[in-house]
Chains A and B, each alone.
Chain A
Amino acid sequence: MKNEIKFLLNGEQVIIEVAGNEVLLEMLRERIGVKSPKCGCDKGDCGTCTVMINGKTVRSCLVLAAEVDGAEVTTLEGVMDGGDLSPLQKSFLEHNSFQCGFCAPGVILSTTELLNKNPHPSKEQIKEAIAGNLCRCTGYTPIIDAVTDLVK
């Protein structure tokens, strides 16, 4: 049995037929061609497959494609501010927060969710929000600095 699903992807409507066992991450990357979410650990531990569903970050490797029927899905491609980088992205750029960039989608989406909920988070709250997004390059400090600087 296939399910036809309808959802908003970065503001644009998508109608697509999915199999029951299709994973959201596979559908986004392989069938729609949105490449910012990546497959790292494939079990929800590393954060690199992060996307938002209705404004909340989720691990897209742990969601079935059929589950997003009727939902609003946002990937890193969708957080740009009218074709420009968001203030948060600019701050990450200024702080050289990322080197290889593999963790960037997860980190940017997680901190975007945090700032939407709480515009002035403490350092502890920033750390809590990015926990579970594994970065092996910059050691988190410039990531935390970028958010701290932006919200102070």
Chain B
Amino acid sequence: MAIVNNFDYVKPKSLKSVFRLFKQYKNPIILAGGTDLLDMLKSGAVVPDVVIDIKGLNVLKRITYKDGVLFIGACVTYTELIESKIIKKRCPIILEMAKQVASMGVRNRGTMAGNICSAVPCADSSPVLLAYNADIVVKSSSGERSIPAEDWFVGSRKTALKKGEVVRGISIKLEEQPQGASFLKLGRYEGEDLAQVNLVVIALKDKTYRVVYGSVAPVPLRARKIESFLKGHDFYKAVLKEAVALVESEIKPISDVRASKEYRLHMAKVMLEIGLEAAINRLSGKKPVYGTKLL
């Protein structure tokens, strides 16, 4: 299917030029990997008069770690995340998530920043960013601001990004204390399937936990009741049953073409058990290694 609407294609070399284009055109749209955008262009979900390709901006292609802060540039692809030594050492849960995104051909192109700009409810990156209290760093011609991941997602396919702003990258202030984390994705098959449920669990040394579900509501959900119930417990098995019982009060999945709400709810419970166990094992340096499929 061809793209019906025509538009200009521009690949600027600096952020300044991006903002100039924002002024010059009425309805600009940013292109990073394009794995979501091309589909939206074809369906007519977006009808821009200019597509601004930001892959010419080298400043957006970096993954850095400095003073406890991990920064992932807006043009970093999933493949680059998987191959990054910094990610593997500093935040391997991102590696575990990235490996489960779509297929190699999509990961070679698609970016994490693009994933959260599309903000579909089943996006794989969203729960990870919420669990780590990541900030989305956005720039406009008047300056820069950081948006906490929890405020970023305002609805299905809706974000806090304003007109005239472009995502520069994702900033994650990593916890200093030892931690174990896990990412689980429930799908029908491997390779280019969307999640029916996804889940991130982080277990921290001070016996606090973070539990975030994706694909069970219009936006990713932090399961605060489960988190506060688990707080202070170090032997999870004794309390696991009660924690799992709380899942029903936390999430309200819907039935759609990919799964029924009953199946989603049931699997969300199973996933919490598996996810907690893996996170706690990793906290104490035990297997499974990061990147292992847990489901």
Q: Could you list which residues of chain A lie within 8 angstroms of chain B, going by C-beta atoms?
A: 1, 3, 19-23, 26, 42-45, 47, 50, 56-59, 61-64, 66-67, 69, 106, 110, 113-114, 127-133
B1, B8, B106: the one contacting A59 at CB < 8 Å is B106
Q: Given A1-B8, A23-B3, A133-B191, A56 and B39 touching (CB < 8 A)?
A: no
The digit string for B159-202, where 1 denotes a CB below 8 A from any CB of A, is 00000000000000000000000000000001110000000000
**Residues of B with C-beta under 8 A to A133:** 103, 191
- Answer whether A44 and B2 are a contact pair too, CB < 8 Å, given A57-B108, A131-B104: no
Do A21 and B5 have beta carbons less than 8 Å apart? yes
Which residues of the partner chain A approach B3 to less than 8 Å between Cβ atoms? 21-23
Report the minimal beta-carbon distance from B214 to chain A, rounded to whole angstroms. Answer: 20
- 25 inter-chain pairs at a CB distance below 8 angstroms, sorted by A residue, are A1-B9, A20-B7, A21-B4, A21-B7, A21-B41, A44-B102, A45-B192, A47-B103, A47-B105, A58-B108, A58-B109, A59-B106, A62-B35, A62-B106, A62-B109, A66-B9, A66-B11, A67-B11, A67-B34, A67-B53, A106-B105, A110-B104, A129-B104, A131-B104, A131-B192
Within 8 A of A (CB), among B22-44: 31, 34-35, 38-39, 41-42
Q: Is the CB of A26 within 8 A of B2?
A: yes
Determine if A62 and B34 form an interchain contact, defined as CB atoms under 8 angstroms apart.
Answer: yes
- Determine whether the beta carbon of A62 is less than 8 Å from that of B38: yes
Question: Is B51's CB within 8 Å of the partner chain A?
Answer: yes
Distance from B113 Cβ to chain A, minimum over Cβ atoms (Å): 16
CB under 8 Å from chain A, chain B span 125-177:
none
Question: Which residue of B39, B53, B105, B108 is within 8 Å of A43 (Cβ)?
Answer: B39
A1 to B50, CA, bound (A): 10
Instruction: Point out which of A20, A26, A47, A114 has the most chain B C-beta atoms below 10 A from its C-beta.
Output: A20
Which listed residue (B9, B102, B104) contacts A64, Cβ 8 A?
Answer: B9
Please give the distance in Å from A60's CB to the nearest CB on chain B: 9
Q: Chain B CB within 10 Å — which of A50, A57, A59, A69 has the most?
A: A59
Kindly state the separation between the CA atoms of A113 and B83 in the bound complex, as whole angstroms: 15
Instruction: Give Cα distance in the complex from A129 to B103, angstroms.
Output: 7
Contact of A61 among B5, B38, B99, B103 (CB under 8 A): B38
Which residues of chain A are near B215, meaning CB under 8 Å? none
| Minimal Cβ-Cβ distance residue in A for B50 | A20
Q: Given A20-B7, A23-B38, A43-B39, are A110 and B105 also a contact pair (CB < 8 Å)?
A: yes
Residues of A within 8 A of B42 (CB): 42-43
> What mask results when residues 66 to 110 of chain B are scored 1 for a CB within 8 Å of chain A, else 0?
000000000000010000000000000000000100111110110
Whole-angstrom distance between the Cβ of A33 and the nearest chain B Cβ: 17
Q: Is the CB of B105 within 8 A of A20?
A: no
* Contacts A58-B108, A62-B38, A110-B105; A44 near B9 (Cβ below 8 A): no
